[in-house]
Amino acid sequence: MVTLLETIFVTIIGVVGFTLGIIVYTKAPLKKANQIFFVFTLCVIVWILSASFSEIPEDLKISLILSKVTYFGVLLAATFLFYFSFYFPKEIILKTGLKFFTGGVTFIFSLLTLFSNSVIKGVIPQPWGFDLDFGNMYSLFLIYCILLVIVAFRNFLKNLRISSHLEKLQLRYLFLGIIIFVAASIIVNVIVRAIVGSDIYYRFGNYSAIFLVIFTAFAILKYHLFEIRVILTEILVGAMGIVLFLLPFLMPSLNLKTLTFLVFLLFLIFGYYLIKATHEETKRREEAERLTVQERVLRDEAERIAIQERALRQRSEKLVREFERLDRAKTQFLLATQHHLRTPLSIMKNYASMLLEGTYGKLGEIVKHPLSGIYVSIERLIKVVNEFLDVAQLQLDKGVLKKAKTDMINYLKKEIIEELLPSAKEKGLYLKLEPSKEKIPEIMIDQTKMKTAIYNVVDNGLKYTQKGGVTIKLQIVNGKLQIVVKDTGIGIKKEEIAELFEKTFERGKEAEKLYTTGRGIGLYISKNFIEAHQGKIWAESEGEGKGSTFYIELPRT
Ligand code: ADP
């Protein structure tokens, strides 16, 4: 028999379920998951209410109809749970074939349940009410419903793997609802039934479906932001409210009615503040949760950027390596070409010289003149090739020095003055080494490279001087050795000084007029070789026509 308390209880279940259905639906009426949930909730309510009300009437015919409606509700609830699982929390593909097949089977079972005796045959009167007599299709019906729930469960599990953190929490609520429902059903319908030996309490198993509704609603509404304690408070306040609201109607006297109604009003005020407090709590929690999610998003973003940066760095490193390789190849090519140029040029020069000297017989005066022209041109060409070769060599093995202890005075005399003196004399210029005041120590230098460096500077002095000459001096300044090359030539403009060493092919205006075949490479090479020795080179000049002084500074070790 259904007691008054049970009626109230069932009413509460109905109201709670319906309210949740409406809330979920109105939150996002266009979302498939929310729509399906609403229908699912209605099915569960039909199922629970008809199960309960089937116990009330005296007329067993009505009980039979209501029992059939109950099973109809169960069937629809299972079907919609099945559909729901394809849309929550992520949408996964529900094949049209499967959709219509399930719809069709459910439709047939609905007809069989409602309008035939194949699922539910009849009712058997019992002292407490009745037991159900099942038809021959009942087992199939049951298997079908269980299958739907299993597929739904499998979908949720599948979803769990690909879900975000938030969706996982949602699914956890859903699982909690399912577990409570299934556990309660098993306890009531299997365990209690086995103990009592009849279906007397089977309705209570049905009532537990409300947990499924409640937790699913929480899951959809993302109620995970609450603590379970807060959720329970809300349910309790709601349930108490409904009980207190119904109580006055059930009271026998007016006094009691008034009293209970007053209690209800008091409770409303209390409930209002309680719920308000929980909502504020929710807001705070939501904010905290939002921040956490934001932080996680930012962290993910930072990680992504770091990965990109690493990839870019790797690419740029690769490019640098590639560039270096190409650069080396280019220099190697240049060197090879120049070697091949120098050898035939030297041979030509030798033959020209031997011809001029009369090794192959005496030459007539008419031939001698053009032959000298050829000889001078070849010599100039060799010089050009050597300069280019120096640049290439410089780039190839910048830092590679073959150092040897060197007495600089003798070195300058032998390698520079002796070699350049003839051309100085030819121009009517002097070239001298001024004696040093202090003792000049021996230093470590790469003699070949240093020769090129100093030679260029002294040669320039002679080239850009028309009267007077060039003086070389060695001195120690701040513990370093300085080679000072001073000439009485055309001088250098202030604005040109800085540029002289910086770029190749850079030439002064005056110099171009005086010496047209210069290429502006010499000083660039000198600077690089000197810097390879940890030294410095710079120039000073009072201005045009006032001569120039070049300083080469070298460390003593
Ligand atoms: P090049 O002498 O072949 O032009 P360098 O690199 O040796 O190339 O010199 C670059 C430029 O520096 C010269 O063209 C000239 O303008 C200037 N220069 C170098 N030495 C002197 C000097 N002693 N007096 C005046 N100008 C000079």
Give the pLDDT confidence of 466-484 residue by residue, as tens digits: 999 999 999 999 999 999 9
Reduced to 3 DSSP states, what percent helix, strand and coil does the chain have, rounded to the nearest 5?
70, 10, 20
DSSP 498: T
Ligand 1: atom nearest CA of 517 is 3
Distance 427 CA to ligand 1 centre (A): 18
Least confident of 60-64, 146-150, 300-304, 504-508: 504-508
pLDDT bin (cut points 50, 70, 90) of residue 20 is: confident
Alpha carbon nearest to ligand 1 atom 10, residue: 520
Query: In Å, what is the CA distance from 544 to each residue of 129, 385, 465?
Result: 128, 31, 12
420, 523, 528, 542, best to mutate for ligand 1 pocket (most atoms within 8 Å of CB): 523
CA atoms within 13 Å, Cβ hemisphere of 251: 17
What is the pLDDT averaged over residues 331-343? 81
Least confident of 10-19, 91-100, 107-116: 10-19
DSSP 223: G
What are 149's two structure tokens?
């729930």
Alpha carbon nearest to ligand 1 atom 23, residue: 461
Least confident of 76-80, 358-362, 458-462: 358-362
82 pLDDT more than 90: yes
> Coil, helix or strand for 536?
strand
- Tens digits of residue pLDDT in 226-262: 455 666 677 778 878 888 888 888 888 898 889 989 9
Q: What is the pLDDT of residue 226?
A: 47
Ligand 1: atom nearest CA of 525 is 6
CB-CB neighbours of 277 under 10 Å: 12
> Can you tell me the distance from the alpha carbon of 149 to that of 137, in angstroms, rounded to the nearest whole number?
19
398 pLDDT more than 60: no
CATH class for the region spanning 403-554: alpha beta
- Tens digits of residue pLDDT in 172-213: 888 888 888 878 877 877 777 778 777 777 777 777 878 888
Distance 35 CA to ligand 1 centre (A): 90
CB 481 within 8 A of CB 537: no
Ligand 1: atom nearest CA of 547 is 24
Q: What is the pLDDT of residue 151?
A: 93
> Can you tell me the distance from the alpha carbon of 340 to that of 361, in angstroms, rounded to the nearest whole number?
30
Distance 520 CA to ligand 1 centre (A): 6
Between residues 132 and 291, the one the model is more confident about: 291
428 pLDDT more than 90: yes
> Can you tell me the distance from the alpha carbon of 192 to that of 280, in angstroms, rounded to the nearest whole number?
42
Strands 480-487 and 469-477, bridge-based pairing: antiparallel
What are 224's two structure tokens?
């995970």
Ligand 1 neighbour 487 (Cβ under 6 A)? yes
Ligand 1 neighbour 521 (Cβ under 6 A)? yes
How many residues make up the chain in this entry? 557
Q: Where in the chain is the domain with CATH 3.30.565.10?
A: 403-554
> Coil, helix or strand for 484?
strand
Ligand 1 neighbour 492 (Cβ under 6 A)? yes
Q: What is the pLDDT of residue 224?
A: 47
Q: Where in the chain is the domain with CATH 1.20.1070.10?
A: 4-223
Q: What is the pLDDT of residue 81?
A: 92
What is the pLDDT averaged over residues 216-222? 76
Q: Does the pTM exceed 0.85?
A: no
> Can you tell me the distance from the alpha carbon of 415 to that of 448, in angstroms, rounded to the nearest whole number?
10
Amino acid identity, residue 466? Q
Q: How does 480-505 read in b/e, with b if 16+ C-beta sit within 10 Å? A: ebbbbbbbbbbbbeeebeeebbeeee
- Tens digits of residue pLDDT in 310-322: 999 999 999 999 9
- Tens digits of residue pLDDT in 535-553: 999 999 998 889 999 999 9
CB 5 within 8 A of CB 204: no
CB 479 within 8 A of CB 556: yes
460, 483, 485, 507, best to mutate for ligand 1 pocket (most atoms within 8 Å of CB): 460
What are residue 133's phi and psi, to 5 degrees? -110, 115
pLDDT bin (cut points 50, 70, 90) of residue 170 is: confident
Between residues 348 and 175, the one the model is more confident about: 348
Distance 551 CA to ligand 1 centre (A): 14
CATH class for the region spanning 4-223: mainly alpha
Q: What is the pLDDT of residue 211?
A: 82
Distance 29 CA to ligand 1 centre (A): 87
CB 163 within 8 A of CB 219: no
Distance 481 CA to ligand 1 centre (A): 23
Distance 482 CA to ligand 1 centre (A): 20
507 pLDDT more than 60: yes
Which residues lie closer than 8 Å to 298 by C-beta, 6 or more apart? none
Q: Mean pLDDT over all residues of the chain?
A: 86
Ligand 1 neighbour 490 (Cβ under 6 A)? yes
Share of the chain above pLDDT 90, in %: 42
Angle CA(158)–CA(159)–CA(164) in degrees, nearest 5? 140
Q: How does 91-111 read in b/e, with b if 16+ C-beta sit within 10 Å? A: eeebeeeeeeebeebbeebbe
Q: Which residues pair with 130 in a beta bridge?
A: 125
> Can you tell me the distance from the alpha carbon of 77 to that of 539, in angstroms, rounded to the nearest whole number?
98
- Tens digits of residue pLDDT in 229-239: 666 677 778 87
Ligand 1: atom nearest CA of 489 is 24
> Can you tell me the distance from the alpha carbon of 416 to that of 354, in angstroms, rounded to the nearest whole number?
26
Between residues 189 and 362, the one the model is more confident about: 362
Q: What is the pLDDT of residue 516?
A: 67
Q: What is the pLDDT of residue 555?
A: 93
383, 452, 500, best to mutate for ligand 1 pocket (most atoms within 8 Å of CB): 500
Q: Which residues pair with 430 in a beta bridge?
A: 469
Ligand 1 neighbour 500 (Cβ under 6 A)? yes
Strands 469-477 and 430-434, bridge-based pairing: parallel
Alpha carbon nearest to ligand 1 atom 26, residue: 492
Q: What is the pLDDT of residue 225?
A: 45
